[in-house]
Amino acid sequence: MARQALPPAATPPDLIRNFCIIAHIDHGKSTLADRMLQITGVVDQRAMRAQYLDRMDIERERGITIKSQAVRMPWEADGTTYCLNMIDTPGHVDFTYEVSRSLAACEGAVLLVDAAQGIEAQTLANLYLAMENDLTIVPVLNKIDLPSAQPEKYAEELAGLIGCDPSEVLQVSGKTGVGVEPLLDEIVRQLPAPQGDADAPARAMIFDSVYDTYRGVVTYVRVIDGSLSPRERIEMMSTGAIHELLEIGVSSPEPKPSDGLGVGEVGYLITGVKDVRQSRVGDTVTTARRGATTALGGYRDPKPMVYSGLYPIDGSDYPILRDALDKLKLNDAALVYEPETSVALGFGFRIGFLGMLHLEIVRERLEREFDLDLISTLPSVVYDVRLDDGQTVTVTNPSEFPDGKVSAITEPVVRGTILAPSEFIGAVMELCQSRRGTLRGMDYLSPERVEMRYTLPLAEIVFDFFDALKSKTRGYASLDYEPDGEQEADLVKVDVLLQGDKVDAFSNIVHRDKAYAYGVSMATKLKELIPRQQFEVPIQAAIGTRVIARENIRAIRKDVLAKCYGGDISRKRKLLEKQKEGKKRMKMVGSVEVPQEAFIAALSQDTGAVEKAKK
Ligand SMILES: Nc1nc2c(ncn2[C@@H]2O[C@H](COP(=O)(O)OP(=O)(O)OP(=O)(O)O)[C@@H](O)[C@H]2O)c(=O)[nH]1
């Protein structure tokens, strides 16, 4: 057990151990990964910076891992030098698919649990994923340096969950490094070596692919059978596309070219491809000549779960937004978009996201990296609408909801797992019921902690459910969910009309029981946000032709000169000029002038937005 020089590439499989660290968010996965890099000597002390593996600025700022990365580390145990490949996985539900691909590249997983928090919802979700992939689980409690750590209690909980003895649960601190060396020894001892047929045609699974400005797409692979060498051309099995291999190598953690990758090895490929969608996570790579004929299982196209319209606040920024999306797409295979026009907001794009975190990240990157100011419309899930004539329409934008006779609507549902202290069972049930949830089962992990399983409509949980759950359980509950098909539901489209004209950006698809509440809240918000006009403006919320809520904005002409009695003509002129300038920032909806800010505030989920806009 000590630092060693890196063995050459083409390490025999029995000296390789491929593992990942799985944990609930913030349980310290990145910190532990950093400590392993340091202890195995692959990153020297001076180059070490916090969260070495999280490269993107946004990742480091938010302290979350979005893209997984792989690192090769040497480790000596019982006089033999082993090659450990550590695959870092993202921890958020939006990226579950990437987690499951990373798991499929490993033989074992370190299941990391915060010794002051215990098991949380994503601990369970990730554990189940790992078990489905037949991985060997090494249970570990982290943060044992914390004064609030309760290692005995949680070792028992963890042991109960995976069916081992509490004494087999390792205890570490990623922060101080305590227990990390014994953990590396255990990884070598407990994990099986990779198995594969060295003489078979090459098959390697893509578990990550990232866009690098200088090198193009870097594809991370795990070789299952055969080998890949730098002189060969490769084929992507899902598309049949053939690429030249410009470089092949391993990361430790900086990229190092090697003369090939054999069975069980993890490394990267560079082909000069400029678009990550040509090198998709889950796909199988083989050689162009004498390649494999059956791909490895598990490839799946990333499927957007949430759609939202993004519009530039300044309409002339539209071409910049289009170019920016084209650039982001190079690095994000899950991003889909198409141009869209809105009567109220002008030209923009309808964009599909994996979830709300994905939406926030994309929006933040667009605003930050491309200096854009954007309005996003109310996010919507994907509905299937069956019409009376038997036709089915897929709706991702409420304003496109068909007006004809609808016979049924289906909405996506998820299987949600909620973990909470048992004193909050009532509060959690009440919340889930108000979100149209159905209880599927309940288990006690310990006398004071309970796991509750629900089927819930995606639309009810994707936006603000987590915040509501946290506030009802004083922050103690955790949530994980995965798609679980569709269900029929009694949904309606609510339109918002200004003086009889529909404002497309405010249309929303909601459950019939919640339609009234949505209508009233929009009408009240808009009444506060839209300035008085020279004529009376009715604001209506309607389902089809039936009006369900109404407010009036009384008529008045805003006389900007009112404050300006007395003679100074130049001051009056200035004020009139200013009024004209302000009008440019107005959008016309029929004959009603609506300030840009009113749209932003009305579409914002933030409850303080209306107050801010009024100021
Ligand atoms: N005291 C103490 N704090 C720790 C330890 N390990 C991690 N932390 C802290 O816990 C917080 C979360 O750690 P991360 O390593 O970012 O957690 P993570 O699981 O990688 O988070 P995601 O990447 O978002 O899933 C950070 O503030 C760390 O400084 C530890 O062993 N002891």
d(CA 164, CA 139): 9
d(CA 353, CA 360): 9
Ligand 1 mean position, distance from CA 604 (Å): 31
Q: Which of 300, 204, 184 is nearest to 245 (CA)?
A: 204
CB 439 within 8 A of CB 430: no
**Cα distance from N-terminal residue to C-terminal residue, the chain:** 64
d(CA 258, CA 8): 8
Return left, alpha or beta for 89; rule: phi > 0 is left, psi -120 to 50 is alpha, else beta.
beta
Three-state DSSP state, 85: strand
Q: Which of 370, 376, 381 is nearest to 310 (CA)?
A: 376
Q: Which strand (E) or helix (H) includes residue 234?
A: strand 233-236
Pocket test for ligand 1, best of 22, 24, 25, 31 (most atoms within 8 A of CB): 31
Q: Is the CB of 514 under 6 A from ligand 1?
A: no
Ligand 1 mean position, distance from CA 138 (Å): 19
Q: Check residue 95 and report its DSSP letter.
A: G
Ligand 1 nearest-atom number relative to CA 112:
19
Q: Is the CB of 312 under 6 A from ligand 1?
A: no
Ligand 1 mean position, distance from CA 175 (Å): 8
Q: Around 559, how many Cα atoms within 13 Å sit in the side-chain half-sphere?
A: 6
Q: Which of 95, 127, 93, 94 is nearest to 111 (CA)?
A: 127
Ligand 1 nearest-atom number relative to CA 176:
31
d(CA 508, CA 517): 12
Nearest CA to ligand 1 atom 7: 28
CB 401 within 8 A of CB 395: yes
Q: Could you tell me how many helices (H) and strands (E) the chain has, helices first?
A: 15, 31
Ligand 1 mean position, distance from CA 25 (Å): 9
Beta strands 80-88 and 16-23 are parallel
Ligand 1 mean position, distance from CA 51 (Å): 9
The answer, yes or no, to whether the previous bond of 531 is cis (omega within 30 of 0) is no
Contacts of 387 (CB under 8 A, 6+ apart): 393, 402, 404, 405, 406, 407
Pocket test for ligand 1, best of 20, 24, 25, 30 (most atoms within 8 A of CB): 30
Q: Which of 283, 33, 13, 272 is nearest to 140 (CA)?
A: 33
Q: Which of 413, 383, 385, 435 is nearest to 486 (CA)?
A: 413
Bridge partner list, 308: 351
Q: Is the ipTM of this complex over 0.90?
A: yes
d(CA 171, CA 186): 12
Q: Is the CB of 31 under 6 A from ligand 1?
A: yes
Nearest CA to ligand 1 atom 6: 28
Ligand 1 mean position, distance from CA 149 (Å): 14
Nearest CA to ligand 1 atom 13: 28
Q: Is the CB of 142 under 6 A from ligand 1?
A: yes
Binding-site positions read 26-31, 142-145
Torsion of CA 453, 459, 461, 464, to 10 degrees: -170
Tokens of 291: 């390649």
Nearest CA to ligand 1 atom 25: 25
Q: Is the CB of 23 under 6 A from ligand 1?
A: yes
Q: Mean pLDDT for each 10-residue chunk of the chain (615 residues)?
A: 49 93 89 90 66 51 49 92 87 68 90 94 86 93 96 93 93 96 97 94 89 82 93 90 91 85 93 82 90 81 86 91 87 85 88 86 89 88 91 90 87 93 94 95 88 94 85 86 91 91 88 92 88 86 90 73 60 63 62 77 63 55
CA separation (Å) from 8 to 83, 184, 249? Answer: 10, 20, 11
Q: Which of 166, 120, 507 is nearest to 342 (CA)?
A: 507
pLDDT on residue 574: 67
pLDDT on residue 566: 58
Q: Is the CB of 146 under 6 A from ligand 1?
A: yes
CA separation (Å) from 137 to 91, 158, 162? Answer: 17, 11, 8
Q: Is the CB of 29 under 6 A from ligand 1?
A: yes
Enter the pTM of the model.
0.74
pLDDT on residue 60: 46
Q: Is the CB of 27 under 6 A from ligand 1?
A: yes
